[in-house]
Structure 1
Amino acid sequence: MPETSPPPEDLTGLSLAEIARLAAERKLPPVEKWNPAHCGHSDMRIARDGTWFHQGSPIGREAMVRLFASILRREPDGRHVLVTPVEKLDIDVEDAAFLAVELKTEGTGRDRSLAFRLNTGDIVVAGEGHPLRFEDKGDGPHPYLAVRGGLEALVARPVYYELAAIAIEEAGEPLGLWSNGRFFPLESE
């Protein structure tokens, strides 16, 4: 059974080493290895703001959202599914499966590391395995962070503004951010 203990409330008092330890300790089920028959639709949806709904009502229990998030998978065709060893159910995702709601940064320039807390409590450190990308959808840039297995987090607007402020302060050319030795330009794809 996946770990569903409450995540840290915020990253403010944690060092990046502590954040990396927490991220490594997070045990997730091996959903990429499970290949059950498709059973239909889950009657669930993840809204653009990261709110999870079941049959039109928001799921209020954070532990339930964390549990469902732990069995979420992105299929090769782009669909999102909830998967267990015995069933696979579609879930509608309006934008991204997760929302990055908090940023912790340590270091400067090439030595910077950027850690994000997601709305589900997961912690992801941007880098080679978790790149940042910026997409222009006609209404300004939409920043995304790769989480796992094709799943992404939309970076919340206030967190994006923090990232932009860091990039502007460092005044690199092109404008962008370093995290764990990888450079991420702030330009849209």
Structure 2
Amino acid sequence: MTKPEWHIYIGKIPFAERSNFWVSFESDNKLTKTKSNIYNRCLPCIKNLYEQLKHGCPSITLGTAYTCWKITAVLKGLEECQSLLHEFEIRFPGKYVYGKFGSGKPNAKTRVVVFHAESIEERDWLESALVECLPVVDKWADILISRACEVLYAELLGDWRNWQPETPIKNPAIVDKLLERIKAILNMSAM
């Protein structure tokens, strides 16, 4: 393989291959966009959801969640995740990307590479780029598209394809459980 002229930088990889963890990656070695988004986009978005649920709103005003896209490649392990990022570097030199890889599930049999996008155009471009890169790493790998933090929004609002900037709650029975989960996330972020 040819060495690319630029790099996708990755954060520190934990020692354990099969545990739940995420490793950030970005075209900037300081992970500037990733760090900025955590405090200026992600946490405010989660707080927005929490406040609306706490106040008993029958629908959720999505705000930045509506334009938050995840383009995910499902792979067998960390080595394949890194190979995909390397292939991406070679095929798309100079394209600025950011996201994470790993898994949030401790016993998952797969690992994922999640590219983040903030527009439909960027989402569609990343999906087509993955269609080009993935066969080199694993021709059977899947690509999944999701909107916002699926673990927080999907069960509450249903399929993201039906969301609008303001979307009615489809499953009010989970609100209390979701409030507790969000509260735990916000408490962890305050550490």
| TM, length-normalised to structure 2 | 0.30
Q: Which has the higher strand share?
A: 1
TM-score, scaled relative to structure 1: 0.30
* Greater percentage in helix: 2
